[in-house]
Structure 1
Amino acid sequence: MRIVVTNCNTTQEMTEEIVRGARAAAGPGTSVTGLTPAWGPESAEGWLDSYLSAAAVLDALRSYGGPSYDAVVLAGFGEHGREGVRELVDVPVVDITEAAAHLACLLGRRYGVVTTLDRSRGQIEDSLETAGVARNCAAVVGTGLGVLDLADDPARTEAAFLAAAERAREAGAEVLVLGCAGMTGLQRAVGEKLGLPVVDGVAAAVKLAESLVSLGLTTSRAGGYGKPLPKGRVWGRPPG
Structure 2
Amino acid sequence: MRILVVNVNTTETMTAAIGRQAAAVAGPDTEIVPLTPLFGADSVEGNYESYLAAIAVMETVRAYREPFDAVIQAGYGEHGREGLQELLEVPVVDITEAAATTAMFLGHKYSVVTTLDRTVPLIEDRLKLAGLDTRCASVRASGLGVLELERDPAAAVEAIAAQCVSAVEHDRAEVICLGCGGMAELRARVIERTGAPVVDGVAAAVTLAESLVRQNLSTSKLRTYAPARPKTFVNWPPEFGRS
TM-score normalised per structure 2 = 0.94
Q: Which residue is equivalent to 1:124?
A: 123
Deviation of residue 193 (structure 1)?
Answer: 2.2
Q: Which residue is equivalent to 2:12?
A: 12
Q: 1:234 to 1:204 in 2, by over 3 A?
A: farther
8 Å CA contact retained: 1:88, 1:229 = no
The separation in 2 between residues aligned to 1:90 and 1:228, in whole angstroms, is: 12
Identical aligned residues as a percent:
53
The separation in 1 between residues aligned to 2:135 and 2:195, in whole angstroms, is: 20
In the alignment, structure 1 residue 228 sits paired with structure 2 residue 196: no
Q: Which residue is equivalent to 1:198?
A: 198
Amino acid at match of 2:160: F
1:160-175 to structure 2, matched below 5 A, reads: 160-169=159-168, 170-175=170-175
Q: Which residue is equivalent to 2:241?
A: none
Gaps of 5+ in 2: 239-243
Amino acid at match of 1:228: A
Deviation of residue 46 (structure 1)?
Answer: 0.8
Deviation of residue 234 (structure 1)?
Answer: 7.5
The separation in 2 between residues aligned to 1:16 and 1:235, in whole angstroms, is: 32
The separation in 2 between residues aligned to 1:229 and 1:68, in whole angstroms, is: 24
The separation in 1 between residues aligned to 2:233 and 2:129, in whole angstroms, is: 28
Deviation of residue 231 (structure 1)?
Answer: 9.0
2:13 counterpart SS class: helix
Cα RMSD, aligned residues only? 1.8
Deviation of residue 167 (structure 1)?
Answer: 2.2
Q: Which residue is equivalent to 2:25?
A: 25
8 Å CA contact retained: 2:17, 2:185 = no
TM-score normalised per structure 1 = 0.95
Amino acid at match of 1:77: Y
The separation in 1 between residues aligned to 2:62 and 2:89, in whole angstroms, is: 12
Amino acid at match of 1:59: E
The separation in 1 between residues aligned to 2:81 and 2:141, in whole angstroms, is: 23
8 Å CA contact retained: 2:87, 2:227 = no
